[in-house]
């Protein structure tokens, strides 16, 4: 993914050339920083333009960070609800004479065991990491299962699909055919996970977000706009973990 440097900040962005006359730059939590330019723009011209726009891009990214900061983090106390595949499951925390924390999902709820002497901060820190590990292990199986169906429908095969930590993107498709998905998506409803998967798989066919790209997405997922809207409205809540 190309980058520009603004002071001490490194800004990653996606660049798509299109049959257009103007330059468009968008910054959001769903797609990150995306630059759309005419086919004729050269590398030097693009770099100059992005350096001029860097203050604005940086400001928009800061605004996204402020929104993220405003999200109330989980406390990991008994009775709290944790999301998985769009459903909410209660957490039960047991304080026992044990040396380390244990975490599992059993009989429709998350169950954690922690040392009696731990403070609430220690409980929060350790259980959050345990939950993230659980999300990545169990969520990966669900993601691969869903992706397999859509790969067959679209006739594509990515080089790899991985769950990764991404703070400003839900998914990325690299030029080499690797697909990186934000592990937080496993908290979202399955229809939303499907949209993110399909979005990145279609990039294996059409790299840019042009009419053909959205036509394939719409044909594969007729109600994709509902999932996209869910991400716009509720996506920031997925950042309450991590």
What residues are paired with 26 via a beta bridge?
Answer: 34
Are 147 and 235 found together in one domain? yes
Contact of 84 with 135, CB cutoff 8 Å: yes
pLDDT in tens, the chain (242 residues): 788 888 888 898 888 888 888 888 988 766 678 898 888 888 888 999 999 999 999 988 887 766 555 567 899 999 999 999 999 999 999 999 999 999 999 999 999 999 999 999 999 999 999 999 999 999 999 999 999 999 999 999 999 999 998 877 899 898 899 999 999 999 999 999 999 999 999 999 998 888 899 999 999 999 999 998 898 888 888 888 87
Q: How many domains does the chain have?
A: 2
Domain that holds residue 20: 3-70
Nearest to 13 by CA among 28, 29, 33, 38: 33
Q: Which of 176, 44, 27 is nearest to 36 (CA)?
A: 27
The verdict on residue 98 lying in a domain is: no
DSSP 119: -
**Residue 8 domain-assigned (yes or no):** yes
pTM tops 0.85: no
């Amino acid at each position: 993914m190309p980058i520009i440097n603004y002071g001490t900040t490194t800004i990653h962005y996606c660049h798509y050339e299109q049959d257009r006359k103007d330059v468009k730059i968008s910054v959001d939590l769903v797609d990150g920083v995306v630059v759309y330019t005419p086919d004729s723009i050269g590398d030097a011209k693009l770099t100059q333009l992005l350096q001029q726009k860097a203050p604005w891009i940086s400001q928009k990214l800061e605004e996204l960070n402020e929104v993220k900061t405003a999200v109330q983090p989980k406390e990991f106390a008994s009775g709290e609800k944790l999301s998985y595949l769009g459903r909410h499951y209660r957490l039960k925390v047991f304080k026992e004479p044990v040396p380390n924390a244990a975490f599992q999902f059993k009989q429709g709820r998350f169950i954690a065991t922690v040392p009696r002497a731990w403070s609430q901060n220690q409980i929060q820190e350790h259980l959050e990491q345990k939950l993230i590990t659980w999300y990545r292990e169990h969520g990966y199986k669900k993601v691969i299962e869903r992706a397999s169906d859509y790969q067959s429908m679209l006739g594509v095969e990515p080089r790899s699909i991985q769950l990764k930590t991404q703070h400003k993107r839900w998914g990325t498709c690299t030029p080499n055919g690797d697909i990186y998905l934000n592990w937080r998506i496993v908290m979202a409803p399955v229809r939303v996970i499907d949209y993110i998967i399909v979005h990145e798989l279609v990039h294996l066919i059409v790299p840019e977000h042009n009419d053909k790209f959205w036509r394939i997405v719409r044909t594969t997922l007729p109600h994709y706009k509902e999932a996209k809207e869910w991400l716009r409205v509720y996506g920031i809540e997925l950042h309450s973990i991590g």
